[in-house]
Amino acid sequence: MKAQHTGTSTSGGPLSFPLDLLGQLLFSPVVCIVLGITVAVVVVVIRRTAGSASGPVASKPRRERIAIAGVALAAGLSWITDIALRGSVFDMSATVSWWRFAVAPTAAAAGLTALAVVMRAEAPRRVVDSATAGRRTWTTFGPRRGIPVFLVLAGVAVAVTLVFGDMSTASDPGLAAHVALELPNTDAPPVVLPFPGWAYGIPLIVSVSALAAILVLVLGRNALRPFPAGVPLDVERGRRAMVARDATALATAATLLATAGALRLARSAVVTTVTTMTGSGTGPAQSVNLPHADLIMVGGAIAPVAEIVGCALLALLVVGGARAARAPLGRTVAWTGVSG
């Protein structure tokens, strides 16, 4: 006796077809990438039309902005390349691609690590005074909303991964990358489906945790390095706030992409009906639900939104870096990145 997965049932009605079509489109990362870039372009156009961007910042914010934009571009391209290779070039349907959800956070963490290593204050240093000698920490320059948002997202990513890992099943020794759904009142073997278990979850947890630690390091280095001479204090503070916003936006975007991927894979394992195949023909359809199926369905609906926002954040960082690279030295540059 075999069990055949027949998919998730949907209710009929006049709105069923367009909603199903929209769901199928948004289930494709390619569509979410295009929508994310479109959102970024719309935001840039609106800000230019309004003529308000985010106000002027330091006269020489080029180095950090360009560096973070380069990291954002590398993280986005690494994530897209992995999707393209696994989906179109190589047949990896029978392979556990354990790295798939860790690609974007790992690339972002590596880039931010390099930024922390090379981050230096320009000499000569400002003479220490009461305005610069105050205690500064990694949270001094914010962003006030961006840091809590990232920490919450990182916590959600870890918590969701732990739950998925506990639900997963090891189809091979030491490999938990599936979920087994038992069929009630039948001797048919369980339905085994791909699932973001420990094989995917451990790399995701490690990469997101490393990204959070490195973000704290970058924000700390950005805040604690000496203030340079010859730059007004308010301008220098604005510059550091901009660096903190960009770095936090980068970490947030990478975490969104990683979490969205795990939610997508979990959503694909939700089953509503299974048909048993016997020697005499097709048996009755049976209702089989994944544990926490309702919550996983909600997560699957949130996943495209998270991917769109993540792609938009990365695109905005790249645009901001490109504008900084084109701006003449000595000219005040208006920041067009993500406000925190």
Distances 236 to 62, 146, 242 between C-alpha atoms, Å: 13, 20, 10
- Confidence (pTM): 0.85
Q: What digits encode the pLDDT tens for the residues 221-278?
A: 998 888 777 778 888 888 899 999 999 999 999 999 999 999 999 998 887 676 666 6
Residue 203 structure tokens: 């790399």
Residues written for the chain = 340
Q: What digits encode the pLDDT tens for the residues 1-21?
A: 445 554 444 344 444 445 555
Exposure of 15 by Cβ count < 10 A (0-12 exposed, 13-18 middle, 19+ buried)?
Answer: exposed
Task: Return the DSSP state at 279.
Answer: T
Is 167's pLDDT higher than 70? yes
Asked if 217 and 117 count as a contact pair (C-beta separation under 8 A), the reply is: no
Lowest mean pLDDT among 88-92, 95-99, 134-138, 204-208: 88-92
The CA radius of gyration of the chain, in Å to the nearest whole number, is 24
Residue-level pLDDT at 164: 94
Alpha helices in 185-232 (DSSP H): 198-224
Asked if 242 and 138 count as a contact pair (C-beta separation under 8 A), the reply is: no
How many whole angstroms separate alpha carbon 191 and alpha carbon 11?
24
Asked if 226 and 270 count as a contact pair (C-beta separation under 8 A), the reply is: no
Residue-level pLDDT at 134: 66
Q: What residues does 69 pair with on adjacent strands?
A: none
